[in-house]
Amino acid sequence: MTLLVNSANRQVAGFAISTIGWILFTTSMGLAEWRLWYMDDPLLSPKGFASVGIWRTCVYHHHRDSNQSHGHTKFCHRHTYNDTFLPLSIRVSQHLLLAANLLGLLGKAFIIFALRNVYMGIGGTNTLFNPFVASGVLYIITSVCVLTTAFWNYYSIVNVQGIAFPSSFHLPFKPDTQEAGSAILVAALSALLMFLSGLVFCLYKFPPDRNVYPEVSKTRIFW
C-alpha cells in the first residue's frame, strides 16, 4: 500500500493542476470579453464599445445628455440557440464548451475515484480498468475542445470577421477595430493546464505487486 500511495503523488499534483485549469475554464465560460469591438464612427452607429462572448453580448453606447455631460447606456443580450445571427464560430463554440464541461466533470469524477482507490490500497497490476488513464483521456479531449474554441474566436478576430447583429443592437456588421478579450487568454491557459494534467494521468501505471516467497533451504537431507 505504501508503494501505491507514493506512486500516486504525481497524480495528486496532476489533480491540483486540473482543478486550477477547471476553475479558469468555468471562469472563461462566464465572461463576455471574448471579442472586443470598438465603434468610433457615429455615422454608422452610436459611438461605443461591445464585448461579444460565447453566451452573451454586452453593448455600451456613449452619449451626451442635454446638460452636455457624458454618459453611457448598457445593453446585454444572452445568446440562445434561436439566435440565427450568430456566426458559425460562436455556435460551434457553444457546443464545444458544453461538451468540455460534461467531459471535464466526468474526468474529475474518475480521478477522485482513482485517488480514493489508491489511498485505500485498492488496485494493482491485475486491474483491467485504470481510472487514472480514463480521466487523463477525458481531460485531454476537454482541453482540445476549449483550445479549439479559443483559437477559432482568435482567428475570427485576426481576419476581422463581422456579425450581422439585429438592428436593436445598434451595432455595425464590423467594428472600426476589434481585439481579443481576456476570456480567450483565460480559456487558452485553462486548456494548457488540463492538457498537462491529462498527460500526467495517462502516464500513471500501477506499481507491480511485490510477492514475498519463502527462501528455499539449501540444506541437504541425508536418508
What does the pLDDT read at residue 216?
44
Q: Which residue has the higher pLDDT, 223 or 108?
A: 108
Q: Which of 98, 192, 102, 114 is nearest to 147 (CA)?
A: 192
Helix (H) / strand (E) containing 48 = strand 48-52
Residue 35 β-bridge partners: 52, 180
Q: Which residue has the higher pLDDT, 126 or 123?
A: 123
Q: How wide is the angle at C-alpha 53 spanned by C-alphas 135 and 184, nearest 5°?
A: 55
Rounded-to-integer distance, Cα 94 and Cα 44, Å: 29
Cα torsion angle, 156, 162, 164, 165, sign: positive
Encode pLDDT of 197-211 as tens digits. 999 888 876 555 444
Per-residue pLDDT band for 72 (boundaries 50, 70, 90) equals low
Q: Which of 150, 52, 20 is nearest to 97 (CA)?
A: 150
Cell 482540445 locates to: 144
Pairing of β 56-64 and β 48-52: antiparallel
Please give the share of the chain, as a percent, with pLDDT higher than 90: 50
| Domain boundaries 2-202, corresponding CATH code | 1.20.140.150
- Asked if the model's pLDDT at residue 175 lies above 50, the reply is yes
The answer to whether 49 and 36 are in contact (CB under 8 A) is yes
What does the pLDDT read at residue 73?
79
